[in-house]
Copies of this chain bind each other. A is one copy, B any other.
Amino acid sequence: LRVGYPEVVFTEGKDIEHLRRILIDMLNRDANILATRMSEEVFENIKDISENMIYNKIARICIINPKDVEKVGKVAVVTGGTADIKVAEEAAITLEAFGNNVERVYDVGVAGIHRLFLNLDKIRDANCIVAVAGMEGALPSVVAGLVDVPVIAVPTSVGYGANFNGLSALLTMLNSCAAGISVVNIDNGFGAGYLASMINKGFTKNGGER
């Protein structure tokens, strides 16, 4: 169906032997694979199955047998802090693998909001914004108040104490007073990236995959 785009495998919780078999089957039909949530340990175990692999340790994504894909439009990926970058990179790498230009704007959270304003130009001309934040999770609200495109909010589990593993940021984002925001699961960088790709593609009408 999605000709040219990667097939996605969620590796977390999969038995290592089971995972090897799935990946080899896919390679046998020459698939382009985006394997998410892959630990270094799992990567070490499966890295012999192909010579054409790129493993991104921060995003915990392994791209196997990548295809050349033209990048269109633009999605901005912003984070509140530096600890949110691993989730942001899951989104960004997913976006690039699906053929989107990505603008990364990291560490611009509300406690130092001037950094956000200094980077506003980079954000404003994107077709869609993925806003990633932990702790108090206020960044997506502020961003959505400043732009007029869809903002996909990704709460992260970054923080401690009353953040309750991301619940705090999740609730903040669901209760945003700004219009144009929607939310995905805690730490779900892939889901945000995939949805942002859909929106950016629709906005730039390239390729006609729909």
Contacts and interface: CB of A to CB of B under 8 A. Distances in A.
Contacts of A146: 113
Contacts of A162: 166-167, 170-171, 174-175, 185-186
A176 B184 CA distance: 9
A4 interface: no
Interface string A1-35: 11000001000111000100000000000000000
Stoichiometry, as copies per complex, reads: 8
Given A136-B175, A207-B206, A111 B170 contact: no
A100 interface: no
Contacts of A179: 8, 111, 190-191, 194-195
12 contacts: A13-B158, A136-B173, A136-B175, A136-B177, A148-B198, A162-B170, A162-B174, A164-B171, A168-B172, A179-B194, A199-B199, A206-B207
